[in-house]
Amino acid sequence: MTARFPHGNRVHRGNVHWCAERQCNIDLEELKSLDRFAWNGLVGLIEEAEGLGVDIDDTLVRSPLIRSPGGMVDPPWLGEFKTVGKAIRGGGARHWRLYFGEPTNHQDHVVGVRVWHKMSTWSQRVTDEREADAIRKAMKTLKWHFANEGYEWAKFPT
């Protein structure tokens, strides 16, 4: 029988082993050249999780997400790191998200699966639609990546 480990608060508890899906690493590298301020914000949260843990603060981390988007069959548990990027010429800012999961069969692992951003200038309807799509894609990536790496994922809390 495979051992099962608590999940859901690892980034707050700290001392995690952080790893990321390949495209997530590529996206983080692209973010580094696009908006170093936002990149520093997300990398800082990863480093805090690897160290003493991230403060419980909904403006920086949501673990787990509040709700699963519609249309997702058997959604996995998913958390997010959040940061706001630098102001964009012409107005507005990008609000960056780094979605992650916690394998239940690896005690201290946290796995980044997707980087995404929304714009402060989008309407609420557009934001909701695009954010739901980004979360669905992150959940699908998590399920695919976890299956390929031998990780087991927890179901989204209901």
- For 90-124, the DSSP string reads TS-EEEEEEEEE--TTSTTEEEEEEEEEEETTS-H
Residue 120 pLDDT class (50, 70, 90 cuts): very high
Interatomic CA distance for residues 90 and 82, integer angstroms:
23
Beta pairing partners, 101: 111
- The mean predicted confidence, pLDDT, of the chain is 91
Buried/exposed 24-51: b ≥16 CB within 10 Å, e otherwise:
beebbeebeeebeebbebbbebbebbbe
82 and 60 in contact (C-beta within 8 Å)? Answer: yes
Q: Give per-residue pLDDT as tens, 6-15.
A: 667 899 999 9
If pLDDT is split at 50, 70 and 90, which confidence band does 3 have?
Answer: low
> What band does 4 get if pLDDT is binned at 50, 70 and 90?
low
Q: Which residues fall within 8 angstroms of residue 17, CB to CB, at 6 or more apart?
A: 50, 106, 108, 109, 110
**Is the entire prediction scored with pTM above 0.95?**
no
Q: Is the pLDDT of residue 158 over 80?
A: no
Contact by Cβ (8 Å): 49, 109: no
Indicate whether 121 pLDDT > 50.
yes
Query: In this model, does residue 105 exceed pLDDT 60?
Result: yes
List, for residues 38-96, the tens digit of each pLDDT value: 999 999 999 999 999 998 887 889 988 888 998 888 999 999 999 999 888 888 899 99
Mapped onto helix, strand or coil, the DSSP state of residue 20 is strand
